[in-house]
Amino acid sequence: MEEFLNIVMGIVPAVVVGVVSYMLINRFLEAEKGRHIMEIRREAVKYSIPVKMQAYERMILLLERLDPVKSVNRVIKPGMTSRELQKKVLADIRNEFEHNITQQLYISRTAWEEVKKAKDEAMKLLAITITRTPDHGDAIEYAKVLIQVMAEVNPSSTASAIEVIRHEAKKIF
């Protein structure tokens, strides 16, 4: 019996030391894991914020370029007909949108939906305008009718989308 007590007296302190050591090492490893995760997040933020800001900048530029009147001013050429101008502006808007389509990775789904809505609204305005002008009418007349059609539409979906993008970009800081 005395021998058994000696063995227990030798094992109990060893087990206690082992458990305490395990707990300390485990706590240290958990703290190191947390520190490592924070370091990775800090690095990710360091690189992702500039990319996100660039995406917001590009979306605002895209929205400005989606504006039908600004698009007309970019593509209009002397001697164009209203139909030629409309086709050119529609192609310009599609190209601008497709060029920036990957930016949706960096902005919220809500913001991206607003951008798509602005593009669709611009294309719809162009379609409405062409129905109010003769097929072979002058491009200048088309531009004038476009301005009238845009005046009839109260809230600009482009302006709404820009506000959503600005609000979202402000959240980063």
Burial of 172 (0-12, 13-18, 19+ CB in 10 A): exposed
- Per-residue pLDDT tens over the stretch 53-103: 999 999 999 999 999 889 999 999 998 999 999 999 999 999 999 999 999
Q: d(Cα 137, Cα 69) in Å, to the nearest integer?
A: 17
Residue 156 falls in which region: left (phi positive, over 0), alpha (psi -120 to 50) or beta: beta
Contact 66, 158 (CB under 8 A): yes
The candidate with the shortest Cα–Cα distance to 62, out of 97, 30, 26, 19, is: 97
The model's pTM is 0.73
Segment 94-120 shows an average pLDDT of: 94
Q: What is the DSSP letter of 121?
A: H
Single-letter amino acid, residue 37: I
Q: What is the mean pLDDT of the chain?
A: 89
pLDDT band at 49 (very low <50, low <70, confident <90, very high): confident
Backbone angles phi, psi at 79, to 5 degrees: 85, 0
- Better-predicted residue by pLDDT, 155 or 90: 90
pLDDT for 105 equals 92
- Better-predicted residue by pLDDT, 172 or 114: 114
pLDDT for 154 equals 64
- Per-residue pLDDT tens over the stretch 126-154: 999 999 888 778 888 989 999 888 888 76
